[in-house]
Chain A
Amino acid sequence: QKEVEQNSGPLSVPEGAIASLNCTYSDRGSQSFFWYRQYSGKSPELIMFIYSNGDKEDGRFTAQLNKASQYVSLLIRDSQPSDSATYLCAVFNPIIQGAQKLVFGQGTRLTINP
């Protein structure tokens, strides 16, 4: 089992609709969760992070965390063509001695259709 799992997609969503991206993780000690966006040929950039169970909203983006189910999601409202990218879920466990690393999922490729 991979530490962080995402559906690789591609996920195709019409412009203006809600895009829903999902991620599950295996390490129950994980405490911090991140969504990075990566445009084709570019490096990843952080768009959201969440530490607590529940929802966190930032503009058109909402991150949702359920630690009991080991599940984190990202919702993008009013999707725009510029949202077309690969979305990477990343997880951090600060407790493991010396393991100061983010573990990434394989990413979900999202396409917003005009």
Chain B
Amino acid sequence: GAGVSQTPSNKVTEKGKYVELRCDPISGHTALYWYRQSLGQGPEFLIYFQGTGAADDSGLPNDRFFAVRPEGSVSTLKIQRTERGDSAVYLCASSPSGTRYTGELFFGEGSRLTVL
């Protein structure tokens, strides 16, 4: 597709369960970002990939959160032992990046996670 694709669009899980959220960026975009957005708040940075490697994971809240991008395209955000406080919309964004950073991020529609 032409845009950033995220699946699932909605996920309801129980406290303590494991969750995976998938992001398929725009073809050719080397930079990929995960943000988390709670109701009434702006997006909160989680992690940034340049290619296959996590260039900045300073926003991951704790070791229950992990993300991978093994082939430099699709990324998966993994959350272990989910807690009610993890409930939010998880936004993925990509950008062409490279050597010049423009700041324009192309966002997917998000994955809404609800932890009961």
Contacting B at CB under 8 A, from A47-99, are: 49, 88, 90, 92, 94, 98-99
- The reply on A46 being an interface residue by CB < 8 A is yes
- Interchain nearest-CB distance for B21 vs A (Å): 14
Of A45, A46, A88, the residue contacting B43 (CB under 8 A) is: A88
Of B97, B104, B110, the residue contacting A100 (CB under 8 A) is: B97
- The reply on A43 being an interface residue by CB < 8 A is yes
**Which chain B residue lies CB-closest to A106?**
B42
**Which chain B residue lies CB-closest to A103?**
B45
Of A32, A100, A104, the residue contacting B44 (CB under 8 A) is: A104
How distant is the Cα of A100 from the Cα of B54 in the complex, in angstroms? 11
- The reply on B113 being an interface residue by CB < 8 A is no
Given contacts A100-B48, A101-B48, A101-B56, contact A44 B107 (CB under 8 A): yes
- Interchain nearest-CB distance for B67 vs A (Å): 14
Q: List, in ascending order, chain A residues with CB within 8 A of B41's CB.
A: 106-107
How distant is the Cα of A32 from the Cα of B35 in the complex, in angstroms? 19
How distant is the Cα of A105 from the Cα of B110 in the complex, in angstroms? 18
Range of interface residues on B (Cβ < 8 Å) = 20 to 34
- The reply on B96 being an interface residue by CB < 8 A is no
A99 x B42 contact (CB < 8 A) = no
How distant is the Cα of A104 from the Cα of B91 in the complex, in angstroms? 13
- Interchain nearest-CB distance for B32 vs A (Å): 11
- The reply on B103 being an interface residue by CB < 8 A is yes
User: Could you tell me which B residues sit within 8 Å of A by CB distance?
Assistant: 31, 33, 35, 40-45, 48, 50, 55-56, 58-59, 91, 97, 101-105, 107-110
A-B contact pairs, 27 of them (CB 8 A): A4-B42, A6-B42, A8-B40, A34-B104, A43-B108, A43-B110, A44-B105, A45-B107, A49-B102, A88-B43, A90-B42, A90-B103, A92-B101, A98-B56, A100-B56, A100-B101, A101-B33, A101-B45, A101-B59, A102-B105, A103-B45, A104-B42, A104-B43, A105-B42, A106-B40, A106-B41, A107-B40
- 7 more A-B contacts (CB under 8 A) besides A104-B44, A106-B40, A106-B42? A43-B107, A43-B110, A90-B42, A90-B103, A100-B56, A104-B43, A106-B41
